[in-house]
Amino acid sequence: MNAMNRRELPGTNPLAHYTMADAADIEEGDIVCLDADGKAVEGSDTAGLTVAGIAVHVDADAGVVEVRDGVIELDIADSDGPTRADRGKPVYVTGPTEVATASSNKICAGTLVDVYDDMAWVDVRPVNAAAASAGATAGTAAGAIAGAAAIAADLADGASTIKAAATTLASDTVAAAGNVRLVASAPATAGAAGVKGDLFVDGTDIYVCTAENTWIKGALTLATW
């Protein structure tokens, strides 16, 4: 679909001119991205690009492209194409005219407004695209933090499902719960909470957990050599 046929919703669609990169192959109707030098290239799933809008006029001889933004009708990628269930979510550039809900480099085209007639309506205004990209990044980071917290909580549990998993070393099968784990403080009693293999050392004693919630203690003989 070229620029003359590509539909848009009424609204603010300011025009801007950008100098094209030497190797750019932009056609009218393409998603236009800016590279690290601020020059225009056709939309692609390439690291470091930012979306500027849609090409409405290309002057190859002058090496410039005229770009507009707004809510624009774009093609749906064959893989991970957005559906109406994705409305309000960020979509990513996968080609000069295509968007998807996932991509390798997460070049955010903007927010999906709707899917109609096998086409994706996307708010590609740069400010909106930046906000959608930031929201997606924050969501990913929050998920990673929550996952790390869950793992840490599991490892602190005496009945840890992670530490209890079997690990095969050469021909021997060793319970992961028998691996050494340094703990932050000495057990208060011989029956304090602990997992087999837990270890604590201070300046005078060494504490070893030999079974769940079972500790032994030995005095250290300190010497230098």
| Predicted pLDDT of residue 142 | 55
| Predicted pLDDT of residue 151 | 65
Q: How far is CA 47 from CA 7, 44, 110, 157, in A?
A: 28, 9, 16, 41
Q: Which residues of the chain have pLDDT under 50?
A: 166-176
| Predicted pLDDT of residue 166 | 41
| Predicted pLDDT of residue 97 | 95
pTM tops 0.75, yes or no: no
Map out the domains of the chain as residue ranges: 15-132, 166-219
C-alpha span between 225 and 223 (Å, rounded) = 7
Q: How far is CA 21 from CA 76, 91, 167, in A?
A: 26, 24, 53
Return the half-sphere exposure (C-beta side, CA atoms, 13 A cut-off) of residue 115: 18
Chain centre to alpha carbon of residue 177:
32
CATH code assigned to 15-132: 2.40.300
Share of the chain above pLDDT 70, in %: 70
Composition of the chain by helix, strand, coil, percent to 5:
15, 35, 45
Instruction: Give the total residue count for the chain.
Output: 225
SS3 208: strand
Supply angle C-alpha 69, 104, 70, rounded to 5. 10
| Predicted pLDDT of residue 176 | 47
